[in-house]
Amino acid sequence: MPDRDTPSPPALHELPLFPLGTVLFPGALLPLQLFELRYLQMIGECERQGSGFGVVTLTQGREVHRPGEAAEQFEAMGTRVHIERIERPQPGLVMVWCRGVEKFRIEATQQRSDGLWLGKVTPLPPEPAVQVPEDLQHLSTQMHQALTQLSAQPSVVPHWAEAWRLQDCSWLSNRWGELLPLPLQMKYRLFALQEPLVRLELVGDMVAPAGATDPQPGQKPSANS
């Protein structure tokens, strides 16, 4: 008989994939303007089914595919999103506000005849709750200042709808990864880490101590050059 204590492997889910030249961290808001037929159809299907889609980071190709170009290639991990708002200001244009929910790993992909990528994905488990250590408290203080300033800017959908968990390494490091102006590959490296304290420590290596480069009103935090 099988061991009852042996965990069953996570179930695979089929998810529409949206390759973009960005990294979407869980909890982040992503506004999109859609006009390609494949993505207009995708959003219509998501509306009818009450489902979301997955955002993955491009490694080759463009966000807008052009005839004759090579197919897009993208990283092996992505973020499932929840659609929070949809507007159709004119025919052939859809504006979508979506929120990063959870990370997933791609196990297999296929491309439909309309160009839309579908992925067989495995959801990754939630990261553990880890308290921000004393030597990294300046990252919490600086992020509180930055989020307060950025949240005051008008937005159709709140930038960060949930309570700010500034003492949680996972949530705090995701906000730093979201807001720091880092090269795409470096952002993805932070994103792909599953150890929230390690991610926050890496952020701490890049960010000046509190008071040295405090963000000005309306600015995002910046990394050391």
Q: How many CA atoms lie within 13 A of 130 on its CB side?
A: 19
* Domain edges within the chain: 13-123, 134-206
Asked whether the predicted pLDDT for residue 219 surpasses 80, the reply is no
63 or 121: which leads in pLDDT: 121
pLDDT for 9 equals 53
Asked whether the predicted pLDDT for residue 88 surpasses 90, the reply is yes
Beta bridge partners of 90: 93
Vertex 56 angle, CA 50 and 58, to 5°: 145
8 or 79: which leads in pLDDT: 79
For domain 134-206, give the fold. Answer: LON domain-like fold (1.10.4060)
3 or 200: which leads in pLDDT: 200
Asked whether the predicted pLDDT for residue 225 surpasses 60, the reply is no
Q: What is the mean pLDDT of residues 32-36?
A: 95
pLDDT for 211 equals 54
- The CATH architecture that domain 13-123 belongs to is Roll (2.30)
- pLDDT, tens digit, for every residue of 6-32? 455 556 789 999 999 999 999 999 999
Q: How far apart are CA 39 and CA 92, in angstroms?
A: 11
Neighbours of 7 (CB within 10 A): 6
What is the Cα 93 distance to its own chain's centre?
A: 23
Q: How far apart are CA 194 and CA 198, in angstroms?
A: 8
Q: Taking Cα atoms as reference points, which of 204, 152, 149 lies closest to residue 173?
A: 204
Two tokens, residue 203: 């952020």
- pLDDT, tens digit, for every residue of 38-69? 999 999 999 999 999 999 999 998 878 777 77
pLDDT for 217 equals 35
Neighbours of 201 (CB within 10 A): 16
Q: What is the mean pLDDT of residues 159-173?
A: 93
**Which segment, 2-6, 66-70, 155-159, 200-204, is predicted with the most confidence on average?**
200-204
The pTM assigned to this predicted structure is: 0.85
Q: Which residues contact 212 (CB under 8 A, 6 or more apart)?
A: none
